[in-house]
Structure 1
Amino acid sequence: MEREELIDKFLHSELTPAEKEQFDDLLTNDISFKEDLDLLSNLKSVAGAEDRDDLRKQMANFEAKIAANDTKVVPLFNYKKLLVAASILLIISLGVISLLDPFGVSTNDLYASNFEPYKNVVTPIVRGIADDNEEIAAFSSYENKEYAVSAEQFGKLYETTQKPYFLLYQANALLAIDQTSEAIPLLEQHIALKDELIERGKWYLSLAYLKENQKEKAIQLLEDLSANGTFKKGDVQKLLDQLK
């Protein structure tokens, strides 16, 4: 079995007993094999699982060219330097890791695991009953997950009524369709109006900040909710613990 394939299977805990024996022998008796293991371990840590197959294919292709003298970059030293450079570019392009905080939590993952559109607590919808009321129509769209439509409807309703809760629901609809940057100013405006749903606004604004990688702003809001609020008390504290 090729050395790189052995290392790759080791890094993903896929070695058979026979392959493990071959791996241990190389690790004990071949210094260059250990160097390759260290290099590929570093590459794995920055590339992430989703890039595994593509990275392995590219490396295998490059190794084949070296073996066939089909490339000007023959020395292994240069080959390794290129791989290290590639790993740095991968860090920058994918944003999967921070150079200053390599084991930091992913704010995007935290957002995804905590966000769900806020339920309709304002205007109950009676199914099967037609109504020309614009507010009912907006909340019907929202409950049917027609978020782009409901965002527009809520926006128009706020313009005509100036009721703060329409900002909260418009922002939630926008968050549901990944229009985070558009949702943030609506949530900030909603909080400034200090209506009875202000804690909901702070929770969703903290999540929106996380989605935009504005970690410190998110922490500040969550700390305020933890100290002074009651909404999602457990989730607020759990999220704070994950961010610190």
Structure 2
Amino acid sequence: MDKDKLQDRIDGYLSGKGSPEARREFEEEISRDEDLSRELDDTKLAVAALELAEDRALKSRLQDLEARLAHEGAPNTEVSGVSTPKPEAKVIGMNRRKGWLRLVAYAAALLLLLAAGWWAIAQPAGFDAQQLAMDSFTPYQNIVTGTVRGDNDSSAEAAAFAEYDAGNYVAAAEQLSALPASAKYDFYLGQSLLAQQKYAEAQAVFSSVMGDPDFPLAQEAAYYNALARLGTGAADEARNALVEISDTDGHPMQDEAKALLTKM
């Protein structure tokens, strides 16, 4: 069957279209056809990833809006159309005024010296690549559970992702490695390895996953691959990868890449 037509059938099924009989027939076909089942799982994963990206983008926009509103909502002492009485100006003697000016000048000079010293201290000759990698790492949300068909695979998958969701990354990595070969399992295996600071192993996994053009989370894998590279100490390689991500409009990890680049 033509791939576009097959995708249309999958999209229709996931959107609830079709008669009950047609849907049952399609489900029976899925149970017999491993390739069709895989396509269905990949589509579910892509939809979940898109929804997650949209949620994150919406949260970011709301935070920006909240910050602007807070700034614009700062108290204004002047009310339109109402003249607010101003305190009478105090007359300060010339000698006292000169004394205050000297004090202000001394304070300003001191602040300049302190600012210059702080700026010099705050400019490190380098940065701790591993620490920055971990500070920038947040395990990707589990959007896979429930997509695998077959009782045995489902049970094994559920157990692996239960460990992942609980933050038991050693057990999660072990159980994910035992699941059937799949880019989506490898993606979360890389997450589990990165959480354990096994940077080289995680980088190897993400490199493989991000090269799969049909994998819905390939772009996300590229960002985590950059984090893993940073953790191994390959800061220049990581920076180049992050620049590419930050320059790609619509990339789901564009904001994260830009934020990380400011710290490198």
User: What's the TM-score, normalizing by structure 2?
Assistant: 0.47
Q: Does 1:237 align with 2:237?
A: no
2:263 alignment partner, SS class: helix
2:143 alignment partner, SS class: coil
Q: Deviations over 1:10-38 (max 9, x none)?
A: xxxxxxxxxxxxxxxxxxxxxxxxxxxxx
Q: Does 1:200 align with 2:220?
A: yes
**Alpha-carbon distance, 1:151 to partner:** 0.6
Alignment coverage as a number of residue pairs: 136
Counterpart in the other structure of 2:193: 174
Q: Deviations over 1:47-66 (max 9, x none)?
A: xxxxxxxxxxxxxxxxxxxx
- Pairing of 1:40-59 with structure 2 (within 5 A): none
Counterpart in the other structure of 2:129: 107
Q: Distance in 1 between matches of 2:256 and 2:201?
A: 25
- C-alpha change, 1:102 and 1:234, in structure 2 (3 Å) is closer
Q: Which runs of 4+ in 1 moved over 6 A?
A: none
**Alpha-carbon distance, 1:102 to partner:** 6.3
| Greater RCO structure (CA 8 Å; 6+ sep) | 2
Q: What one-letter code is carried by the residue in structure 2 that aligns with 1:180?
A: Y
Q: Does 1:151 align with 2:170?
A: no
1:190 alignment partner, SS class: helix
Q: What one-letter code is carried by the residue in structure 1 that aligns with 2:164?
A: Y
Q: Deviations over 1:71-111 (max 9, x none)?
A: xxxxxxxxxxxxxxxxxxxxxxxxxxxxxx96123222321
Q: Distance in 2 between matches of 1:174 and 1:207?
A: 12
Task: Say which is worse superposed, 209-218 or 224-233, in terms of deviation.
Answer: 224-233
**Alpha-carbon distance, 1:187 to partner:** 0.7
Q: Does 1:214 align with 2:244?
A: no
Counterpart in the other structure of 2:161: 139
Q: Does 1:184 align with 2:206?
A: no
Unaligned runs of 5+ in 2: 1-120, 148-152
1:170 alignment partner, SS class: helix
Q: Distance in 2 between matches of 1:225 and 1:140?
A: 31
Q: Distance in 1 between matches of 2:189 and 2:138?
A: 14
Unaligned runs of 5+ in 1: 1-44, 46-100, 126-130
- C-alpha change, 1:132 and 1:190, in structure 2 (3 Å) is closer
Counterpart in the other structure of 2:246: 226
1:117 to 116, 139, 145: 139
2:247 alignment partner, SS class: helix
Matched-pair identity in %: 27
The CA RMSD measured in Å over matched residues stands at 2.3
Counterpart in the other structure of 1:28: none
**Alpha-carbon distance, 1:132 to partner:** 6.1
